[in-house]
Amino acid sequence: MSKVVAATGNEAVANALRQVNPDVCAAYPITPQTDMMQRFSSYVSDGQVKTELILVESEHSAMSACIGASAAGGRVATATCGPGLALMWEMLFVASGTRLPIVMPVVNRALSAPLNIHGDHSDAMGARDSGWIHLWSENAQEAYDNTIQAFRIAEHMDIRLPVMVCLDGFIISHSIERMEYLEDDEVKKFVGEYKPLNPLLDLEHPKSMGPLILPDLYHEFKRAQHEVMTKVKDVVLNVAEEFEILSGRRYGLFEAYRLDDAEIALVILNSAAGTSKDVVDEFRKGGIKAGLLKPRLFRPFPYEEVAQALKHLKAICVLDRADSFGGYGPLFMEISSALYPLKERPIMINKIYGLGGRDFLPQHAEQVLSELAEITKTGKFKIIKEYIGVRE
């Protein structure tokens, strides 16, 4: 039985964390995540969860405390965004390298300077190579569903890796949407009882964590870490399948929207994909075969599956809400890598949009789809990477 509610993204994710009831949560407030963990701390104060909430002095300390609690043998969650995630950077690698299944919602926010509190993907893209599993969410419903599934993925005995669940700052975190909550006992049953792996608090079996590993073994440890990532896709799909039985909502490695017979398509993450799908529908009505691909699992990136989904297209635009200054957008680089092994590839362009919370409007998607339609006629494009929605 599900319950239909009107909730913000932050509210929805805080509720998911309440339903999961982690053993330990160490968090530090930062806009636009603050409201999520403030709600969660109310659950702690009101006795609705048994979580030990550790208030720390920085995000670096928040992740450090989470690492300690997870190593000790607890189910652990935290949340952050933007500069907070950047401050955690060093400890992100410790969490993944130590194979600790910490779950962390990331309310995507731009990085300074100039100082900006609004939504873009620079934060999570900066943590791309941190060894964390990345799940991305279009709306409050997906953020809620992904958070619940994240515990199952992270804690799977073949995986034991931390997972970040990305949702767009303000656009999703602070906007109210219609969505559905699962019942508390359904979520409790779905995530199950936490099973620690080699916990420090198993006093019968003393052990040492975080050792110094020199060049004679470090390379092997990283190779082993890569191997774990190769197993993540199957676990994500299996968890999604179970979640569908419970919720009726279907998840995959990515969402392919009207893509099967499409000739042109947008590849776009998170909330802007929602806007773009409406525009795809408009183009379809006008007889133009448009489609869309919205990645969900960004790390590990499902290169083969994405290539299969996009190979028949004539032209693609990858839209990035983050820039790699002096490089292409980070999502564009992934899609390029996915398509390179194909003998015949679609023409690809890259647009940078919506930095620092700049609105992504239907007209932006229209402009890009029109450009793609033109490219399919001429077979030519003017420039690979370009900013859109920017004043001259």
Partner 1 sequence: MKLKGWKELTPGAVILEAGNAVEFKTGSWRAFKPIWKQENCIQCLFCWLYCPDMAVKVKDGKRADFDYDYCKGCGICALECPGKKGEKAIVMVEEGK
Q: Which stretch binds partner 1 (CB under 8 A): 148-156, 176-184, 218-226, 257-265?
A: 218-226
The nearest distance, CB 54 to partner 1, in angstroms, is 22
- Is residue 204 part of the contact set for partner 1 (CB under 8 A)? no
Query: For partner 1, how many residues bind (rule: CB under 8 A)?
Result: 23
Q: Which two tokens stand for residue 241?
A: 């399948």
Distance CA 105, CA 40 (A): 12
Distance CA 259, CA 319 (A): 16
The nearest distance, CB 221 to partner 1, in angstroms, is 6
Pairing label, strands 254-257, 290-295: antiparallel
The DSSP annotation for 98-155 comes to TT---EEEEEE-PPSSSP--S--SHHHHHTTTSS-EEEE-SSHHHHHHHHHHHHHHHH
The nearest distance, CB 77 to partner 1, in angstroms, is 19
Nearer to partner 1, 208 or 378 (CB): 208
Q: Binders of partner 1 among 227-286, rule CB under 8 A? A: 227-228
Task: Residue 350: name the closest of 334, 327, 362, 332 by CA.
Answer: 332
Four-residue CA torsion sign, 61, 63, 67, 73: positive
The nearest distance, CB 278 to partner 1, in angstroms, is 44
Question: Are the beta carbons of 158 and 99 closer than 8 angstroms?
Answer: no
Distance CA 370, CA 282 (A): 12
Distance CA 196, CA 153 (A): 14
Q: Which stretch binds partner 1 (CB under 8 A): 210-218, 269-277, 343-351, 356-364?
A: 210-218
Q: Which residue in the set 129, 183, 185, 220 belongs to the binding site for partner 1 (CB under 8 A)?
A: 220
Q: Binders of partner 1 among 301-340, rule CB under 8 A? A: none
Nearer to partner 1, 161 or 349 (CB): 161
Nearer to partner 1, 216 or 261 (CB): 216
Q: Binders of partner 1 among 140-169, rule CB under 8 A? A: 160
Pairing label, strands 254-257, 264-267: unpaired
Nearer to partner 1, 216 or 392 (CB): 216
Q: Binders of partner 1 among 47-106, rule CB under 8 A? A: 97-100
Binding site for partner 1 (CB under 8 A): 97-100, 160, 197-198, 205-211, 213, 216-217, 220-221, 223-224, 227-228
